[in-house]
């Protein structure tokens, strides 16, 4: 077997056998296949696709590249969620405590931000003292006793995904549906979840830009789940506008607390939805009944209490959370209606303020970001407050074009 033949076959739209996929990808992880050949294969896959059998083979090779976790402890059902990445997507911080207060267990291994999409681990690191790298024993102990824990992905959880993802990121091959499906599902399966909800983000602030691709990804992750006897559900959710009014690490933690207090915004509804889908899957009850039980956990304060305990257990001190006190108010220049709020535009402002990394060398400023005070459909008058910028040491230069992401007509 040789890599050149494998690349050529895919270039000519042929399909690859399990052994060929294993040879190429395992070989890459073992540094027997160089970057340039893997880059060529990934590009051929991105252009010509993979069929279901190839995608299942790739997922299997991914899973077998590292450790897998088995949940043998008795008691609660294990559920997991995964978002394909968005702007202001703080749902994990709300769904986790909801799941735990509903009596289910969630052992969440999360990632950092990628490009303009935020990562749960970065958000948690904005809390002084918070430990994002629990050792295995503490991680599983906390899941058993509290109901959930969040840790950064273990180094040996699908190590092949780490190297392939990094290569995809810089070779224009991130948007391939079979590559996304195997990347996501291999991690969920290796982490041991039985009931999995995949939240497919669609729109300008997301990896997936068309409804067609979102539907295809949904079909594929469900099929992969079936092959591994996992219960997989998907939701396709709007990422043309930011999910949360707050964008920026500490700001998003504070907004998650607002939602756990019952603030009924888009983030609230989406978090309830995700938690209810998981509950309905795990307990075999209707979605309506699951929703009712989920909302009750916000209303009686138990989800909020669980969040505080989760932060304390992982060493975080919420009282020391820093949101910059240097702010700039941006006001409406004319009367009108908020027609749209572009997620990517909002994320770019947050990035300019220092909330995310644009190069590997960048350092995140957890205290900066923006808060959007208006929602799509709102009527605004000249002079009304549109957004507050929370700025760090340096004030970046902004032009009116930067703020055109809030489109008022």
Tell me if residue 183 is catalytic: yes
Nearer to ligand URA, 232 or 323 (CB): 232
How many residues line the site for ligand URA (CB under 6 A)? 7
What single DSSP character describes residue 76?
Answer: S
- Pick one of 126, 183, 204, 234: the residue that binds ligand URA (CB under 6 A): 183
Cα dist from 372 to 235, 251, 252, 346, whole Å: 25, 11, 12, 9
Q: Does 85 bind ligand URA (CB under 6 A)?
A: yes
Nearer to Ca ion, 184 or 224 (CB): 184
Annotated active-site residue in 81, 82, 241, 348: 82
Tell me if residue 82 is catalytic: yes
83 binds, among ligand URA, Ca ion, none (CB under 5 to 8 A by kind): Ca ion
Judge residue 56's burial from the number of C-beta atoms within 10 Å of its C-beta, 0-12 exposed, 13-18 middle, 19 or more buried.
buried
Q: Does 208 bind ligand URA (CB under 6 A)?
A: no
16 binds, among ligand URA, Ca ion, none (CB under 5 to 8 A by kind): none
Beta strands 231-238 and 195-202, pairing class = parallel
Tell the smallest beta-carbon distance from residue 123 to Ca ion (Å). Answer: 10
Q: Where are the beta strands (DSSP E) in 223-297?
A: 231-238, 246-247
> Phi and psi of 236, rounded to 5°?
-105, 120
Tell me if residue 72 is catalytic: no
Q: Which residues contact 16 (CB under 8 A, 6 or more apart)?
A: 6, 9, 10, 24, 50, 54, 57
3-state secondary structure of 373: coil
What single DSSP character describes residue 403?
Answer: G
Q: Does 184 bind ligand URA (CB under 6 A)?
A: yes
Residue 62, both tokens: 């991914």
Q: Does 224 bind ligand URA (CB under 6 A)?
A: no
Q: Does 58 bind ligand URA (CB under 6 A)?
A: no
Closest by CA position to 368, among listed 392, 401, 342, 402: 392
Nearer to ligand URA, 147 or 178 (CB): 178
- Pick one of 83, 176, 314, 367: the residue that binds Ca ion (CB under 5 A): 83
Residue 350, phi-psi category: left (phi > 0), alpha (psi -120 to 50), beta (remainder)? alpha
Q: Which residues contact 72 (CB under 8 A, 6 or more apart)?
A: none
Rounded to whole angstroms, the Cα distance separating 371 from 246 reads 5
Residue 17, both tokens: 């056998």
275 binds, among ligand URA, Ca ion, none (CB under 5 to 8 A by kind): none
Nearer to ligand URA, 110 or 367 (CB): 110
Q: Which residues contact 119 (CB under 8 A, 6 or more apart)?
A: 110, 111, 112, 113
Tell the smallest beta-carbon distance from residue 23 to Ca ion (Å). Answer: 31
Place of tokens 């497919």: 200
176 binds, among Ca ion, ligand URA, none (CB under 5 to 8 A by kind): none
Tell the smallest beta-carbon distance from residue 354 to ligand URA (Å). Answer: 24
Closest by CA position to 281, among listed 222, 338, 328: 222
Q: Does 356 bind Ca ion (CB under 5 A)?
A: no
Q: Which of residues 180-219 bind Ca ion (CB under 5 A)?
A: none
38 binds, among Ca ion, ligand URA, none (CB under 5 to 8 A by kind): none
Nearer to ligand URA, 86 or 97 (CB): 86
Q: Does 84 bind ligand URA (CB under 6 A)?
A: yes
Annotated active-site residue in 10, 105, 112, 168: 168
Angle between helices 177-190 and 52-63 (to 10 degrees): 40
3-state secondary structure of 370: strand
Annotated active-site residue in 60, 161, 199, 365: 161
Tell the smallest beta-carbon distance from residue 168 to ligand URA (Å). Answer: 7
What single DSSP character describes residue 400?
Answer: G
User: Other C-beta atoms within 10 Å of 397: how many?
Assistant: 7
- Pick one of 198, 206, 207, 321: the residue that binds ligand URA (CB under 6 A): 207
Stretch that binds ligand URA, among 88-96, 179-187, 190-198, 266-274 (CB under 6 A): 179-187
Tell me if residue 229 is catalytic: no
Stretch that binds Ca ion, among 78-86, 126-134, 259-267, 296-304 (CB under 5 A): 78-86
Q: Which residues of the chain form contacts with Ca ion (CB under 5 A)? A: 83
Residues annotated as catalytic are 82, 161, 168, 183, 187
Q: Which residues of the chain form contacts with ligand URA (CB under 6 A)? A: 84-85, 179-180, 183-184, 207
């Amino acid at each position: 077997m040789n890599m050149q033949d494998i690349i050529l076959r895919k270039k000519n739209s042929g399909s690859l056998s399990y052994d060929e996929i294993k040879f190429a990808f395992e070989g890459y992880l073992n540094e027997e296949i160089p970057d340039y050949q893997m880059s060529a294969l990934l590009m051929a896959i991105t252009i010509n696709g993979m069929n279901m059998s190839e995608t299942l083979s790739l997922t299997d090779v991914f899973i077998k590249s590292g450790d897998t976790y088995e949940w043998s402890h008795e008691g609660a059902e294990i559920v997991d969620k995964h978002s394909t990445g968005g702007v202001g997507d703080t749902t994990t911080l709300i769904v986790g405590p909801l799941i735990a207060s509903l009596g289910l267990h969630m052992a969440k291994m999360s990632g950092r931000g990628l490009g303009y999409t935020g990562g749960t681990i970065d958000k948690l690191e904005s809390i002084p003292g918070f430990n994002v790298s629990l050792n295995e024993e503490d991680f599983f102990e906390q899941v058993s006793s509290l109901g959930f824990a969040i840790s950064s992905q273990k180094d040996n959880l699908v190590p092949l995904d780490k190297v392939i993802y990094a290569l995809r990121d810089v070779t224009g091959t991130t948007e391939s549906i079979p590559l996304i499906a195997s990347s996501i599902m291999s991690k969920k399966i290796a982490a041991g979840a039985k009931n999995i909800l995949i939240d497919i983000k669609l729109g300008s602030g997301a990896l997936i830009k068309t409804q067609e691709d979102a539907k295809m990804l949904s079909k594929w992750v469900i099929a992969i789940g079936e092959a591994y006897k996992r219960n997989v559900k998907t939701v396709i959710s709007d990422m043309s506008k930011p999910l949360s009014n707050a964008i920026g690490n500490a700001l998003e933690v504070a907004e998650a607390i607002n939602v756990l207090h019952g603030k009924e915004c888009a983030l609230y509804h989406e978090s309830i939805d995700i938690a209810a889908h998981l509950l309905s899957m795990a307990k075999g009850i209707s979605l309506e009944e699951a929703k009712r039980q989920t909302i009750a956990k916000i209303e009686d304060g138990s989800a909020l209490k669980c969040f505080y305990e989760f932060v304390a257990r992982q060493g975080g001190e919420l009282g020391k959370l820093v949101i910059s006190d240097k702010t700039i108010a941006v006001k409406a220049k004319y009367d009108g209606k908020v027609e749209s709020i572009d997620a990517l535009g909002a994320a770019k402002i947050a990035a300019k303020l220092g909330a995310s990394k644009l190069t590997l060398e960048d350092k995140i400023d957890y205290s900066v970001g923006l808060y959007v005070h208006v929602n799509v459909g709102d009527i605004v008058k000249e002079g009304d407050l549109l957004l507050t910028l929370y700025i760090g040491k340096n004030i970046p230069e902004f032009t009116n074009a930067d703020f055109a992401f809030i489109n008022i007509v």
